[in-house]
Chain A
Amino acid sequence: MVILGPMLIREMKNLKKNKQFITITCAIAILFVVACESMKKNMDSALNSSLARKAGVDSTTARQASGAADVATGLAKAVTSAISQMSYEDERILGETVGVQLYATRDFGEPINNKELMLYMNTLVNVLAQNSSRPDIPYYVAVIDTDRKNAYAVPGGFIFITSGLILTLQNEAQLAVVLGHEIAHIAKRHTLNEMKNSKTLGGLVEAGGGALKASSFGSPSQFASFSGFIKDLSNNIFTHSLPKETELEADAEGIRYAYDTGYDPKAMLGVFDIISEKDSQVNGDHVTTAERREAFNQLMQEEKFQGDASGVMETGRLQQAKQWIQSGNAGW
């Protein structure tokens, strides 16, 4: 440090005298301004897409095609921006409306009415979420009475897990990685971002002047778009898989959350054995079990897990939860 200090100061003085330094700095500043201007133009294009479409009527076919693509790209960017700027309260209200629609969907199933089971599940999910990348929002989980083996994540912190899946799990660590996977979908806003190209979400963002605000969802100008988007999103969550990369990211994040909480990350291997590909939704770019295993092996090479990829597998509490499920739904 004693030697390096004076040398660094001398070199900096030399550079300041150098005209090249000024030229390079100016070039970087110009590039930055140009990039910002380009981003602004894309946003303006998205927000004025209705006008843009009207303006394109008199253009050539080629220009129309090019313009439409620009508008679509611009709108997708505006939607992405609106999602990233959405407040938790607005996201929660959107999510609970999706939840209502899911419960009203034929064959979705009813939540099991059992206070002990709800307390166990909601405590576990919030213990895990404390170590997630979005730990400051509450998470809510309910067990759906159905033989299907699946779990669903809805924006705003809502998780649905089926009794069919819980009954086939072998230990609490497996339940932890499954719930961690769903927490990751919410923390990373996977389901909303996956809808960024949907017409109904684009329409909702346009009607909202570039924002997603619950205070306006019920207004006459936005309600039709809002309702259309709620139905699209709930249908997507219930019947479609998320893209492969998104699912693999949720696997990795979920394993990290469970491991940081104290569970054994290797529990995920057991989950891969239990949930076959046909148990998950089959529509969309589906990730295979082989791909998930390969990604898991790569994850275990991370410094985080090196030399100590261990933790708790079983606490005995999952068996109790299974008994509550098997004792039957108290009904409504």
Chain B
Amino acid sequence: MRLLVLCILFVFASAGFSENLYVKSKSAKLRKHPRKKKTAAKAKRGDALEKVKKVRKWIRVKYKGKKLWVYKGKVSKKAPKSDKSLLTANYADNVATGNAVRGLSKVAIKFSSSQSVSEKHQKFMDYHQSFITTDKADFASQPTSRGVNLEKITSEMLDKFQEDGNIGAYADPGDEEFEEE
């Protein structure tokens, strides 16, 4: 019993020193100041950030020796779980070459043939997956065999969408004073 109490005291004493947060989004762009849109550092999903303080929707953190700001929607107290479904797949290569969505898979085509699914309905599914999120410069946007053009959505376009809508990290951070290193 004495040991249990001591352990609890030990945990609380340790917790008082610092609190770690983890990047739970795909990535997090850190800024020197919430009002300055330029990225000072980019942290990967799962990276630990040491919390210094929180001001409204922005959190002051220490990352790689620097004190920077991160939008609170990008982090969580718990480290995110890795996506096991991506560990065995050659997913990155497929997306880079457009193979992941270069028309329907052989299995889907065989199914369509066996169920007499028309060419038009197969084309609908080509179209459904024709907007591909990738930053690969060599992404080849040739049409599928059913004549559907492939379009690219880059990280830059995802950021611009948020900036144009004044959403999240691009919203007015408020009147509070934010420190800058």
Partner of B105, one of A96, A138, A312: A96
Establish whether residues B165 and A100, one from each chain, have CB atoms under 8 Å apart when the complex forms: no
Establish whether residues B85 and A4, one from each chain, have CB atoms under 8 Å apart when the complex forms: no
Report the minimum CB–CB distance from B66 to chain A (whole Å): 23
Partner of B83, one of A97, A137, A160: A137
Establish whether residues B169 and A4, one from each chain, have CB atoms under 8 Å apart when the complex forms: no
A-contacting residues, B116-130, CB 8 Å:
117-118, 120-125, 127-130
B57 at the interface (CB under 8 A from A): yes
Contact of A97 with B167 at beta-carbon distance under 8 Å, contacts A126-B133, A127-B162, A136-B45 already known: no
Residues of A within 8 A of B171 (CB): 262, 311-312
Residues of A within 8 A of B164 (CB): 315
A244 at the interface (CB under 8 A from B): no
A172 to B167, CA, bound (A): 11
A160 to B170, CA, bound (A): 29
Establish whether residues A131 and B90, one from each chain, have CB atoms under 8 Å apart when the complex forms: no
Partner of B108, one of A15, A93, A140, A231: A93
Establish whether residues B107 and A218, one from each chain, have CB atoms under 8 Å apart when the complex forms: yes
Establish whether residues B105 and A123, one from each chain, have CB atoms under 8 Å apart when the complex forms: no
A135 at the interface (CB under 8 A from B): yes
Establish whether residues B168 and A111, one from each chain, have CB atoms under 8 Å apart when the complex forms: no
28 residue pairs from A and B, CB less than 8 Å apart: A4-B9, A4-B13, A15-B3, A84-B84, A86-B85, A88-B83, A89-B94, A93-B108, A97-B107, A101-B117, A103-B121, A104-B112, A115-B151, A119-B151, A123-B153, A126-B133, A126-B158, A127-B158, A130-B25, A130-B27, A135-B25, A136-B86, A138-B100, A140-B128, A218-B106, A218-B110, A231-B115, A315-B166
A227 at the interface (CB under 8 A from B): yes
A135 to B129, CA, bound (A): 17
Establish whether residues A104 and B10, one from each chain, have CB atoms under 8 Å apart when the complex forms: no
Establish whether residues A96 and B104, one from each chain, have CB atoms under 8 Å apart when the complex forms: yes
Report the minimum CB–CB distance from B28 to chain A (whole Å): 10
A246 at the interface (CB under 8 A from B): no
The 3 closest A-B pairs by CB, nearest first: A262-B168, A260-B73, A262-B167
A236 at the interface (CB under 8 A from B): no
Contact of A4 with B117 at beta-carbon distance under 8 Å, contacts A124-B161, A126-B153 already known: no
Report the minimum CB–CB distance from B172 to chain A (whole Å): 10
Partner of B74, one of A12, A131, A308: A131
Establish whether residues A104 and B131, one from each chain, have CB atoms under 8 Å apart when the complex forms: no
A5 to B110, CA, bound (A): 67
Establish whether residues B130 and A118, one from each chain, have CB atoms under 8 Å apart when the complex forms: yes
Residues of B within 8 A of A317 (CB): 165
B79 at the interface (CB under 8 A from A): no
Residues of B within 8 A of A172 (CB): 165
Establish whether residues A118 and B111, one from each chain, have CB atoms under 8 Å apart when the complex forms: no
Establish whether residues A135 and B165, one from each chain, have CB atoms under 8 Å apart when the complex forms: no
A66 to B90, CA, bound (A): 43
Contact of A312 with B89 at beta-carbon distance under 8 Å, contacts A100-B104, A119-B151 already known: no
Establish whether residues B83 and A134, one from each chain, have CB atoms under 8 Å apart when the complex forms: yes
B80 at the interface (CB under 8 A from A): yes
Establish whether residues B117 and A100, one from each chain, have CB atoms under 8 Å apart when the complex forms: yes
B36 at the interface (CB under 8 A from A): no
Establish whether residues B118 and A11, one from each chain, have CB atoms under 8 Å apart when the complex forms: no
Highest count of chain A CB atoms <10 Å: which of B3, B80, B90, B132: B3
Residues of A within 8 A of B89 (CB): 87-90
Contacts A118-B151, A131-B25, A142-B128 given; 4 further ones with Cβ under 8 A? A96-B108, A126-B158, A260-B72, A308-B57
Report the minimum CB–CB distance from B8 to chain A (whole Å): 11
A8 at the interface (CB under 8 A from B): yes
Report the nearest A residue to B56, measured CB to CB. A308
B-contacting residues, A91-147, CB 8 Å:
91-93, 96-97, 99-101, 103-104, 110-111, 113, 115, 118-119, 122-124, 126-127, 130-131, 133-138, 140, 142
Report the minimum CB–CB distance from B47 to chain A (whole Å): 14
Contact of A118 with B25 at beta-carbon distance under 8 Å, contacts A11-B2, A92-B100, A308-B57 already known: no
Highest count of chain B CB atoms <10 Å: which of A4, A100, A312: A100
Residues of A within 8 A of B72 (CB): 260
Partner of A11, one of B6, B151, B169: B6
Residues of A within 8 A of B118 (CB): 104
Residues of B within 8 A of A96 (CB): 104-105, 108, 125, 129
A214 at the interface (CB under 8 A from B): yes
Residues of B within 8 A of A319 (CB): none
Report the nearest B residue to A90, measured CB to CB. B89
Residues of A within 8 A of B73 (CB): 131, 259-262
Establish whether residues B161 and A127, one from each chain, have CB atoms under 8 Å apart when the complex forms: yes
B140 at the interface (CB under 8 A from A): no
